[in-house]
Structures are given as C-alpha cells and as structure tokens.
Amino acid sequence: MKTPPSTHRGRSLIAALLVLLVLGAAGGAFAWYKFFREEAQPAWITDDPDMRFKYGSIGAERDAGIPYWIFYVLPRIFPDKLPGPGGYASFGVVWEEGQELPVGFSKKVVGFPRVANNCAACHTSSYRASADVAPVFVPTGPNHTLDLWAFFRFLIDCAKDPRFNADNLMAEIRLVTDLSFIDRMIYRFLIIPITRKTLLEREEQFAWLYRPDFPPWGRGRDDAMNLTKYFMIRWPMDDTLGPTDMPSLWNLKKYDPEKGMRMNFAGDSHDPFSVIIDSALGLLGAPPKNNDEFLEQVRWIQDYVSNKPAPKYPFPIDAARAEQGKAVFDANCAACHASSRTGTVVALAEVGTSRDRIDTWNEKAAREANAVVREMGIERPGLVEEPLTGYIAAFLDGIWLRAPYLHNGSVPTLRDLLEPPPQRPTAFWRGYDVYDPVRVGFVTSGAEAERIGTRHEVAAKGGGNEGHVFGTELPDEDKDVLLEYLKTL
Ligand code: HEC
Ligand code: HEC
C-alpha cells in the first residue's frame, strides 16, 4: 500500500532527526571525551599527603593548564629563551629524582593530559648540606631557588615567537610520542592554536615584567599582590613593584585570627582559610567548576600545612651557647617575636624596612578582590579592607631555612641581619641551595652561587635592605650566641 506522502515525509523527517540526534550525541560525547573528561590522578599522588601536596591537582588544569605535550617540547624548541641550559630545571624548580615533573607541577587528564601548578611550586624548599651531596626537599618550605619571573616570561615569549606554530610543535612532539591520527589533528588544529592564543592573552597583564625600569624579581621572589591586582581584579598597570620571598607554610596553625593576627607579609589578609582560597583561585585562573569540591580541597590543604611541623636545624647546635642566646633573644627580640605582637602588624615607622611591597596593594583593591570572590559564591573573611601600615612581626619557627631574610629577601643571612643596615651586603647571589651554617642562610657568593643564582642589588627597586635594626648594636659575643639560639627555633 502506498503511504500517503505527508506521513512518509513525516517519518523520514523523524528518522533524519533521530540520526542527527544520535550523531549529535556521539559528536557531543566525542567532544566531551576528547576535551573535558576528567581522569583521577594516580593513587601514588592522591593517597600520600606529601605527594598530594607536591604533585596533586588543585583543579587548575581545566582553565590554566598547558597541554602536556606542548609543555614537554617548549624547552626543546626554545632553548634560547631559557635562563640557562637544562630545560625547565634552569628556572630553579625543585625537582626530585625520578619524577617526570618538578614539584608543584601537576599532571591531569582533562580531555587530554594537561600540566598546571599547585601550591608546592612556590612553597617547597630544597637545600644541600654541601656541594657534593644530594638536596633535601622540604614541602611547605619557601622555594628560594625558583625564577618565577623568568618562567612567566618564557611562556609568553615562546607564544610570541613565530616558531610557535603547529608544524614545528608537531614535528617535535612526533619525536617524543606517538599520538593517534585524531589526536594529531586535534593538537594541530585546535590545541596548539588555542594554547598560543591563551598565552598571548596574558601578555598585557604581565606587562610589568617587561618594564626596563623595573629589575627582575630574582630567584625565590614573587610579586604576589601585583599578580592579584593585574589578574584577579584586572587593574591597569601602576608604578609599584614589590617582590617578596616565598613564605613558609609549615605549622600554619600558629596563626590565630582571633588574636588580631593577620596573614601575608603586610597583613593584608584575615586568616589562613582566606589566603588559601585566594592563592588557589589565582592558580585556577577562573571560578572553580564546583565550589564544594573546591572548598574541600582548600580545607585539605589547610589541614596539611597547619599540621606540618617546621623542619629541625640539620647541623650540630651548641646547646649551652644556645641557652645563653635565649637570654639575649628574650631581652631584645621576644617582645615582637614571642609575644602577643607576633603575627600582628608592626608599623612601618617602627620596623623601618622597605615600603615597596606595601605600596603594591591597598584598601580599594581589597574591596574589589573580595567582591570578585563573593560573586563566585565563596564566603570567606577575605582581604583586609584597610590601608596597609607595616609588616607582620614574623613567627620565627624554622627561620634557619627561610633565608634570605626580611619580607623582600634583601639580607642574605641571619648574621647579616644582626649588622647595622649600612654594613649589610649591598649585592649578593640568591637561589643557590648550598647551606652556610656559619652565617646561617644560603651561600650567596663564589663561582657556583654566581653561576646558578641571580644577583640581588639592594639599591634596585623593591630590593632595599634598610630597617629592622633590632639587635644590631649588641656586642659580637651576644650576636654569636643569639645566632646559636635562632638555629633551635
Ligand atoms: C607563584 C608562587 C606561589 C604559589 C603557586 C602559591 N603561593 Fe602562597 N604565597 C606566595 C607568596 C610570594 C606569598 C607572600 C605574599 C605577600 O605577602 O606578599 C604567599 C603567601 C601565602 C600564605 C601566607 C603565609 C603567611 O605566613 O602569611 C599562605 C598561607 C599561602 N601563601 C598559601 C598558599 C597555598 C595554599 C597555595 C596553593 C593553593 C599557594 N600559597 C600558592 C607565593 C605562592
Ligand atoms: C619591634 C618589633 C621587633 C623586634 C624587637 C624584633 N623584630 Fe624581628 N621582625 C619584626 C618585623 C615587623 C619583621 C618583618 C619585617 C619585614 O619583613 O620587613 C621582622 C622580621 C624578622 C626576621 C625575618 C623573618 C623572615 O622571614 O625573613 C628575623 C630573622 C627577625 N625579625 C629576627 C629578629 C631578632 C633576632 C630580633 C632581636 C634581636 C628581632 N627580630 C627583633 C619585628 C621585630
């Protein structure tokens, strides 16, 4: 029997729609699989707290990640843009033997393998007892070797170079892995151009890294509040520069916001929870995919860093002299470093150190940044909506591993900090990891320190070593025993 034309047309239309739907669903599933499916990281990372801190994903791969194979071949294609030989190692990243990626670099499949950063990139230390032994790694310690400034510039400079194109990158990728035909097409026509575009989009916000009138930050320093200003609230560039050392995160439970303590070097944040949220958002580069998962991650990190003890001084200590030193400490230092003032802001006029870091941030920036986080639906006490007036009287736990000293890392050793400012070194090399137990800090001169380190000039913007004159007029013998005591903290 002949089907009436209308019904026939109706049926084929339905069939066509069904086919399209199936194709669409398959296409959608395919796209989801190739670009968005998330695979859990391996158990050796997720099941061990130290490994999780060092290599675990905090969710930054999705929006801030770099496709793994691009990350892999960039140093091979652009060795001329690295600070020295040796690939990524030349940035002074902390790299454990046998690991595929440096500490602080997480690898996760979001559609395809991507690499991003976590807290450990800046918050893990390495040191060596002498030049001929293997390094010791301390997760939650300050990374004093990382040349973050050079790393940020490297990524932008690569993307700006005409050699960053699909032909070159695919040729190099083929030398190191066998991608399927489809994956090669995806890399060539989508991933490589999109990655290039994404990197170039950051160029404007990184403009202050290219200013000829600003010195490089140098190893182990980061201009954190300017990063927040230019990336989170997208302010136009101003004339401030305030690179600081990376702080230690160990034993974070010592901070008690109820006692008026504040976080960050200039006391610009209320509490650890807020700082961890803001740091993580900075790494994500976008609102979290899921706020509950994000906050669970934040709480895990907070628990980890709160309960990690400061590392013990690894060289011999003269206990009797340290005991004498404690008396010197109690008389000259405890009023700020072991009292109710510890962890609270000391006015700039009283401490007298460089003001550049304070000038990088202000009340209005805090209000705007808090609004950005609130709009994401995240509740936290947040950044302090008040003018910055000074620096936090630092807790001194594990102070031996926090060299160079002062918020901007302008004084190489504890012994130098006990000299009046005009007698402190005016230039030294930072980022070399061999320890100096005599002056208490890292070795900052000599051929190796110069080869590996970056030169810190105290006369350069953001580098000033003035202030903190406490204890500088003590007799030498008192300084020596005080130094012995500081090793015990
Ligand atoms: C790119 C380097 C970098 C990364 C990555 C980073 N931080 Fe930090 N962090 C810093 C610097 C630099 C400061 C000091 C900022 C200042 O006061 O100027 C800091 C400060 C802090 C503080 C305040 C410490 C104190 O004693 O006041 C905490 C807590 C902290 N970070 C936690 C984290 C956590 C958690 C992560 C990961 C979610 C993280 N950071 C990622 C560089 C980094
Ligand atoms: C009036 C309060 C005050 C007194 C007294 C004081 N300090 Fe400090 N100290 C501070 C402040 C504030 C900072 C942070 C300054 C900065 O980073 O710019 C600081 C920083 C430090 C740092 C550097 C911490 C780091 O992470 O780099 C050390 C070390 C230190 N003090 C040791 C001492 C010693 C030793 C004494 C005694 C001889 C002493 N301080 C006396 C307020 C004080």
Ligand nearest to the CA of 332: 2
Look up tokens 């006029």; give the residue.
349
- Ligand 1: which of 91, 155, 271, 279 to mutate, most ligand atoms within 8 Å of CB? 279
Say what the pTM is: 0.94
Residue 383 Cβ contacting ligand 1 at under 6 Å = no
Which ligand 1 atom is the nearest neighbour of the CA of 301? 35
Probe residue for ligand 2, chosen from 244, 328, 329, 333 as the CB with the greatest number of ligand atoms within 8 Å? 333
Nearest residue (by CA) to ligand 2, atom 37, is 333
Q: How does pLDDT run across 420-466, given as a tens digit for each residue?
A: 999 999 999 999 999 999 999 999 999 999 999 999 999 999 999 99
Which of 58, 119, 361 to mutate to test ligand 1, by most ligand atoms within 8 A of the CB atom? 119
State the virtual CA torsion across 338, 341, 343, 347 in degrees, nearest 10.
-130
Ramachandran class of 282: left when φ > 0, alpha when ψ lies in -120 to 50, beta otherwise: alpha
Residue of minimum CA distance from atom 20 in ligand 1: 264
Backbone angles phi, psi at 110, to 5 degrees: -120, 90
CA atoms within 13 A on the CB side of 433: 23
- The CB of 249 under 6 Å from ligand 1? The reply is yes
pLDDT in tens, 152-193: 999 999 999 999 999 999 999 999 999 999 999 999 999 999
- Give the C-alpha separation, 204 to 209, whole Å: 10
Pick the atom of ligand 1 nearest to 394's CA: 26
Q: How confident is the model over 274-314, as pLDDT tens digits?
A: 999 999 999 999 999 999 999 999 999 999 999 999 999 99
pLDDT digits (tens, 9 = 90+) for 38-70: 999 999 999 999 999 999 999 999 999 999 999
Average pLDDT over residues 257-265: 95
What is the C-alpha to C-alpha distance for residues 108 and 122, in angstroms, rounded to an integer? 19
The type of residue at 49 is P
Instruction: Report whether residue 432 contacts ligand 1, using a CB cutoff of 6 Å.
Output: no
Q: What is the spatial distance between Cα 347 and Cα 377, in angstroms, rounded to a whole number? A: 34
Residue nearest to atom 33 of ligand 2 (CA): 333
pLDDT digits (tens, 9 = 90+) for 196-243: 999 999 999 999 999 999 999 999 999 999 999 999 999 999 999 999
CA distance 346 to 344: 7
Confidence of residue 9 (pLDDT cuts 50, 70, 90): low
Atom 38, ligand 2: residue with shortest CA distance? 471
21 vs 16, 27, 37, 186, CA distance in Å?
8, 9, 21, 23
Atom of ligand 2 nearest to the CA of 482: 35
Name the closest-CA residue to atom 24, ligand 1: 264
User: How far is the centre of ligand 1, averaged over its atoms, from the C-alpha of 414 (Å)?
Assistant: 22
Closest CA to 112 of 8, 39, 209: 39
- 349 contact partners, CB below 8 Å, separation of at least 6: 390
Atom of ligand 1 nearest to the CA of 305: 35
Copy the structure tokens of residue 36.
């968005």
**Rounded average pLDDT over 362-371:** 97
> What percent of the chain is predicted at pLDDT more than 90?
92
- Given ligand 1 and candidates 55, 241, 249, 252, which is best to mutate, with the most ligand atoms within 8 Å of its CB? 249
Q: Which residues line ligand 2 (CB under 6 A)?
A: 265, 332-333, 335-337, 346, 350-351, 353, 391, 393-394, 396, 399, 402, 405-407, 414, 417, 468, 470-471
Q: Which atom of ligand 2 is nearest to the CA of 467?
A: 18
Q: Has residue 346 got a pLDDT over 50? A: yes
Residue 34 has a pLDDT of 83
Burial class (CB in 10 A: 0-12, 13-18, 19+), 58: buried
CB-based contact 404:432 (threshold 8 Å): no
